Structure 1
Amino acid sequence: MELLDRFYGIKQAAGLAVVIGKDGSAIVNYCQVSLDGKNLSFEKKVTGLSLQELGKQVKTGIPLSISISGRGVLYKQLERVEEIGPSNFSAVLPNAAIDDFYVQHFPSGGHSFVAVIRKTEADKWLDAISKQGLSPLMLSLGPFPIAHILPQLNIYDEEIIFAGVKIVRSADKSWEKVSFHEEFQAPYTIKVENEVLDQQLLLPYAAAFQLLLSGKIDVVKADAPALGSAFEGLISDRKFKVNGMVILLIFFVLLLGNFVWLSGLNAENARLAAEVSTSARTSTDQQALSDEIRQKESLLRDLGWDGGINKSSLVDQAAALMPAEITLKEISVNPVDGAADHSFGSLKFRERKILMRGESAQIILVNEWAARLKSKKWVKNVELESYNFNNELNTGIFTITLSY
C-alpha cells in the first residue's frame, strides 16, 4: 500500500479555510504544502484574503481542501456513537432532515463531536470558490481536522487555544470540549517543528495535511458526494496515468530485453554461421585434398610406385638365395601387365611383383630357389609360371613371379 501511495498519492495539496463572520462576509486563509518522501514543506501561506482575491493568490490545478467555520456551522457534542445517520440525527438537530445538511462526525474518547452545515449554505461558498477556477476535493467543518497536526505543534498543554477556538483535552489527549469566542487567541507563537505558523493558518494547514495523507489517516470531513466524486476522479486519473506509465515501462523493458536477446541470438548466429562456413571450407578443402591425393596415388600406381619399398634390397635378398647352378637372365620389378588393356597409350603394371627369368638344367633347382624365397617374411607368394627345356641350349628356361 505504501508503494502504491507513493505512485498514486497526492504530492502537493492546498488548504483553504473560509471563516464566515457574523455579518455573512468571509475571510479566507490559504496554506499550500508539498510532500517529498517523508519530508513535508510549506510552499505558500496567505491570510486575510477575500474570495475575490483567490484567483490571484491561489494556483489552479493543485488539489484543494476546504474548511468552513463560523456563521452557519452548527456543533453538537454527544456521547460517543459509531456513526451519525437518519436514525439518530434528531439528537443533533431535532425535527431536521439529515438530507438537508452536510454532516461531519469526529469521535474522540467517550464523545462524538458533530458539525453540520446546510447544503445550500455550503454550496454557496463552494460555488464561489469554483468560480475562481479552483476545484475543491474535500470539505471539513470547524477545527476538528487539526487533530491530525497537533503532534507536530509546540503545544503540550491539555488546552489548545488559537484563532477564537479553545479545545480542552483529557490526560490521554482525548477531546473533552470545544468552545468558540473571539477572545480565544494563541498565547504564544505556534510552530510546526521549526516553521512558524500563524494561528489563522492552523485550519488551512490541517485541511491540506489530511488531503495530502488521505490514504493513510482517518480523514475528518463532511460527507459531500460531489467533492468525493471529484477526489475519486483525481485518484483514478492518477492511477490511470501511472498504470499507463508502468505499462509503457514494462513494454520498454520487454522490448529492451527482446532487443538484447535478439542481439545475442544474432551474434550467436553469426558465430555459428562463421563456424559452419569455416567447416564447409575445411570440408571442401579436405575433399579437394582427398581427390588430389587419390589422383596422385592413381598416377603413382600407373607409374608403378608401390609405397617407397627398397626394391634393390629385395632383389639382392632374392638373388642371394639363388642356387649357384642357376643362371639369372632377367629381373623385372612391377613388370608391365601384358594381359591388361593398354589403349590410349597407357601402360598397366603388375603391382608388387618381381618377375625373374633364367636358365637351369634341372627344375628341382628352380623349385629349391622358390622354397628358399618363401622363407622370407616380406615374400607373400612365389609362383613358377613356366619351365621349358630347350634342346638347342641343352638347359631349361624358367619364369618365376614373386609377390611382396
Structure 2
Amino acid sequence: MFAPFEHLLGIEIKLLPDASFRCSYAIVSKKGNLLNIGKYHQIEGSLVKVLESIPRKYPLALTLSGKGIIHKLAISKGNETEGLFREVFPSVERKDFYVQECPLEDGSWVSIVRKSQADDILGKLKAAGMRVYSLSLGGLAITGIWEMITEKGTDFQVDGHLFQVSEMGALGGYLYTGTHSEEVDFALGGGKVPSYALLPYALAFQLFLHDRVELVKTDHENVDQAFHAFLGNHALRKTASVFIFSLLGLLLISFLVLSYYNSENTALNAQAGNLSAAADRGDLLRKDIALQKAKLERLGWNGGYSYAFLLNEIGGTRPRLLQLKELAFGEEKKTGSPAEIGNIIRISGETSSLPSVNNWIFELKERKWVHSVKLLRYQQDNESESYLFSLLINY
C-alpha cells in the first residue's frame, strides 16, 4: 500500500551506427514480494518513432547503449578505489561526461557518455511526458539479477551485450558487441522471456530495491534529484496517509463508543420508564382487583359457577365405586402474583378400586371449568379393606 512504486518501466535505448535507435522495454509490477514482468516490446527507428511506442504513465529506469558509450575495467590496488576514472581515462575531462561505476571484487567497470549526448535524449523523454528516475550505461545493470540467469563458467549474450562468467560464477568480463543476435529465451520468474527483455527487467529490479542494493547508474545530478524528490514526496504522502487513517480510526472508535453508550442510555431510560409505568399500573390493578373481589363476594360470584352446577358436575362424573365423605369449597392464593386468586374444591372419600380414582381424575380434567386436579392422598384404611383418597380441584 505504501510502496514507492507499483509499476516500473525498464528501457534500453541503443544508439546505432546509422544514427537510428533500437529501443527495448519491459513493464515490471510488484505484488507483495514478487516482481512480475508484464508487457515487453522492441522497436527500431528514429528517436521520434521510438518515443511514440513507449508507454508514458510509468516511472522510468533507463540505460543507454551503443555508439558513444565506452566501458573499461579498472583494477584497484589493495582497497583503494578512488582515482579509477583517472586510471582508465587519463586524458578525459570528467566534467564533460556522466560516469558510471560497477564495482567488482578487485576493481570496477567504469562507463562514460558525453553529457550533451545523454541530456539530448533525456530532454526529449521529459518533453514527451516521461519521468526518468535512474540513468545507467550499457548492460552492467544486469548484475542485479546475476544469480537468476547465470551458470558457472558459461558465457552468455543478451541482445548485443556479451558477459563472460568465471568458474566461480562471477562476472569475468563484459563487452558491448552491438550484434543483433537471434532472439533467445531466458528463464525468469517462473516463465521465459526474450533476451532483449532481460536488461529492462534488471533496470526495474534495482530501482524497486533501491533501498537494499547498490544501484548501477550514472552520477547524473538532475536525475538523482528527481528520484530523491519523488521519494521525499512519497514519504510525505505516506506520513499524511498514516495520520489521516489514524485520525479516522480514532474518530470511528469514538463514534462507536458514543453510539454504544447512547443506545445503552436510551435503553436504560426506556427500561426505567417501563418499570415506573408498570409499578403504577400494578398499584391500580391491585386496587381494582380488591374492589371487584369485594363486589363479587357480595354477589356470591364463586368464580362464575354456582354451587349447584359444580355439585351436579362432580356427582355426574363420579364412578359408582367411589364414595364421597367430604366436599368443601374454598380459595387459595397462588404464588407469583399476589393479585391472582384461585378457587378450589377439596374432596375426600373411600374406594376399593384405584383405577376408578384415576378414571375420575381424567374425567374431571376434561371438563372446561376445571383448571387442574391433584391427588393429595391415597392410602388403605386400617379399619377396613377400602382405600381413603383426597382430591384438590382448582377451577
TM-score range for the pair, normalised by the shorter chain length: 0.5 to 0.7
Using the TM superposition, give the Cα deviation of residue 228 of structure 1 relative to its aligned residue in structure 2, in angstroms: 1.2
Matched, 1:151 2:168: no
Match of 1:238 among 225, 228, 234: 234
Q: Determine helix, strand or coil for the equivalent of 2:27.
A: strand
AA aligned to 1:36 is: K
Matched, 1:74 2:70: yes
After TM superposition, the structure 1 = structure 2 runs for residues 333-348 of structure 1, keeping only pairs within 5 Å, are none
After TM superposition, the structure 1 = structure 2 runs for residues 188-267 of structure 1, keeping only pairs within 5 Å, are 188-267=184-263
Using the TM superposition, give the Cα deviation of residue 156 of structure 1 relative to its aligned residue in structure 2, in angstroms: 5.3
Using the TM superposition, give the Cα deviation of residue 109 of structure 1 relative to its aligned residue in structure 2, in angstroms: 2.1
Match of 2:54 among 48, 53, 58: 58
AA aligned to 2:98 is: Y
Q: Determine helix, strand or coil for the equivalent of 1:190.
A: strand
AA aligned to 1:44 is: K
Contact 1:109 1:175 in 2 (8 A): no
Name the residue aligned to 2:292: none
In 1, distance between residues paired with 2:247 and 2:60? 35
Q: Determine helix, strand or coil for the equivalent of 2:163.
A: strand
In 2, distance between residues paired with 1:161 and 1:204? 15
Matched, 1:99 2:99: no
In 1, distance between residues paired with 2:40 and 2:179? 24
Question: Mean alpha-carbon deviation: is it higher for 140-149 or for 129-138?
Answer: 129-138
After TM superposition, the structure 1 = structure 2 runs for residues 4-403 of structure 1, keeping only pairs within 5 Å, are 7-50=2-45, 51-80=47-76, 87-153=83-149, 155=151, 157-182=153-178, 185=181, 188-273=184-269
Contact 1:154 1:193 in 2 (8 A): no
Q: Determine helix, strand or coil for the equivalent of 1:130.
A: helix
From the superposition, tell whether residues 282 and 9 of structure 1 become closer, same or farther in structure 2 (CA, over 3 Å): same
Contact 1:66 1:207 in 2 (8 A): yes
Q: Determine helix, strand or coil for the equivalent of 1:7.
A: coil
Question: Mean alpha-carbon deviation: is it higher for 184-193 or for 145-154?
Answer: 184-193
AA aligned to 1:15 is: G
Query: 1:252-282 deviations in whole A, cap 9, x for unaligned?
Result: 2111100111112223433554576679889
Contact 1:8 1:242 in 2 (8 A): no
Contact 1:154 1:192 in 2 (8 A): no
Name the residue aligned to 1:318: none
Using the TM superposition, give the Cα deviation of residue 63 of structure 1 relative to its aligned residue in structure 2, in angstroms: 0.8
Using the TM superposition, give the Cα deviation of residue 107 of structure 1 relative to its aligned residue in structure 2, in angstroms: 1.1
Using the TM superposition, give the Cα deviation of residue 13 of structure 1 relative to its aligned residue in structure 2, in angstroms: 0.4
Contact 2:152 2:166 in 1 (8 A): no
In 2, distance between residues paired with 1:247 and 1:255? 12
Contact 2:69 2:112 in 1 (8 A): yes
From the superposition, tell whether residues 261 and 183 of structure 1 become closer, same or farther in structure 2 (CA, over 3 Å): closer
Aligned length: 283
Runs of 5+ consecutive residues of structure 2 not aligned to the other structure = 285-395
Using the TM superposition, give the Cα deviation of residue 236 of structure 1 relative to its aligned residue in structure 2, in angstroms: 2.5
Using the TM superposition, give the Cα deviation of residue 168 of structure 1 relative to its aligned residue in structure 2, in angstroms: 1.7
What's the Cα RMSD here?
A: 3.1
From the superposition, tell whether residues 88 and 233 of structure 1 become closer, same or farther in structure 2 (CA, over 3 Å): same
Query: 1:189-240 deviations in whole A, cap 9, x for unaligned?
Result: 3232443322222222221222223233221111111111211222233333
Contact 1:13 1:33 in 2 (8 A): yes
Contact 2:152 2:167 in 1 (8 A): no
Contact 1:103 1:115 in 2 (8 A): yes
Identity level (%): 25
Q: Determine helix, strand or coil for the equivalent of 2:117.
A: helix
From the superposition, tell whether residues 194 and 283 of structure 1 become closer, same or farther in structure 2 (CA, over 3 Å): closer
In 2, distance between residues paired with 1:54 and 1:243? 38
Contact 2:9 2:204 in 1 (8 A): yes
Q: Determine helix, strand or coil for the equivalent of 1:32.
A: strand
Using the TM superposition, give the Cα deviation of residue 187 of structure 1 relative to its aligned residue in structure 2, in angstroms: 9.0
Using the TM superposition, give the Cα deviation of residue 167 of structure 1 relative to its aligned residue in structure 2, in angstroms: 1.6
Contact 2:183 2:194 in 1 (8 A): no
Question: Mean alpha-carbon deviation: is it higher for 74-83 or for 212-221?
Answer: 74-83
From the superposition, tell whether residues 280 and 184 of structure 1 become closer, same or farther in structure 2 (CA, over 3 Å): closer
Using the TM superposition, give the Cα deviation of residue 21 of structure 1 relative to its aligned residue in structure 2, in angstroms: 1.7
Name the residue aligned to 2:364: none
Name the residue aligned to 2:354: none
In 2, distance between residues paired with 1:29 and 1:187? 13
Using the TM superposition, give the Cα deviation of residue 67 of structure 1 relative to its aligned residue in structure 2, in angstroms: 0.5
Using the TM superposition, give the Cα deviation of residue 37 of structure 1 relative to its aligned residue in structure 2, in angstroms: 1.2
Using the TM superposition, give the Cα deviation of residue 60 of structure 1 relative to its aligned residue in structure 2, in angstroms: 1.6
Contact 1:165 1:181 in 2 (8 A): yes
Q: TM-score, structure 2 length as denominator?
A: 0.63
Name the residue aligned to 2:320: none
Query: 1:271-316 deviations in whole A, cap 9, x for unaligned?
Result: 554576679889999xx99xxxxxxxxxxxxxxxxxxxxxxxxxxx
Question: Mean alpha-carbon deviation: is it higher for 270-279 or for 52-61?
Answer: 270-279
From the superposition, tell whether residues 56 and 24 of structure 1 become closer, same or farther in structure 2 (CA, over 3 Å): closer
